[in-house]
Amino acid sequence: MQEFKQHTGIAVPLNAANVDTDQIIPKQFLKAVSKIGFGKHAFNDWRYLDEEGTRENPDFVLNFPRYKGASILLARENFGNGSSREHAPWALADYGFRAIIAPSFADIFYNNSLNNGLLLVKLTEDEVDQIFKVVEANEGQTVTVDLENLEVRVNDLRFKFELDEFRRYCIMNGLDNIGLTLQHEDAIIAYESKKYKWL
């Protein structure tokens, strides 16, 4: 997992609520058996006019020239709802996003993203709205997400966010969750020895 301490990049504003994982990565791309290469299909049905993905939809915000190379996604409430497909964060990370800022995220998507070092930043609706306005008004506007100080900075704006200490530690150091759990194998064995056999 890639380490994340602080990141500054162009932010792209995706002005839609309830963006589901079917939109982030449609089912026809779930047939792969590896984790790589999903980025070119991120938001496929919104991003391309044809099934083959050869003609870009000029009306879709990710295709606006000013947002090319964006690495921070600004979104509205309940981002990532629906299917548990981890292909969604794989696609977003592979596209080049390092962080997503929104008022709320769906539960399964939240875990999936953090497990891949894709940082999800929850701010209030009002704060997200302020960032939308600044980003839409200024071409090339960058946003900084600072995990060390749990802070988002856009020009003079500074917004604090929260993340539990353990997850913050894992993401900042790019740690493998399984390896950490296996350090507690004695506790797993102890639990297994006392549980009902049939359970």
Which residues are near other proteins by CB under 8 A?
15-18, 20, 22-23, 26-28, 30-35, 45, 51, 76-78, 81-86, 89, 104, 106-108, 111-112, 115-116, 164-167, 177-178, 181-182, 184-185, 187-188, 191-192, 195-199
Shortest Cβ distance from residue 74 to other proteins (Å)?
A: 14
Task: Pick between residue 140 and residue 179 the one whose CB is nearest to other proteins.
Answer: 179
Task: Pick between residue 32 and residue 157 the one whose CB is nearest to other proteins.
Answer: 32
Which structure tokens are listed for 168?
């913050």
Shortest Cβ distance from residue 164 to other proteins (Å)?
A: 7
Shortest Cβ distance from residue 153 to other proteins (Å)?
A: 25
| Helical ranges in 9-123 per DSSP H | 21-24, 44-47, 87-95, 107-114
CB 87 within 8 A of CB 25: yes
Q: DSSP strand E in the chain: where?
A: 6-13, 72-74, 99-102, 119-122, 142-146, 151-154, 157-160
Closest CA to 93 of 44, 36, 18: 36
Shortest Cβ distance from residue 142 to other proteins (Å)?
A: 26
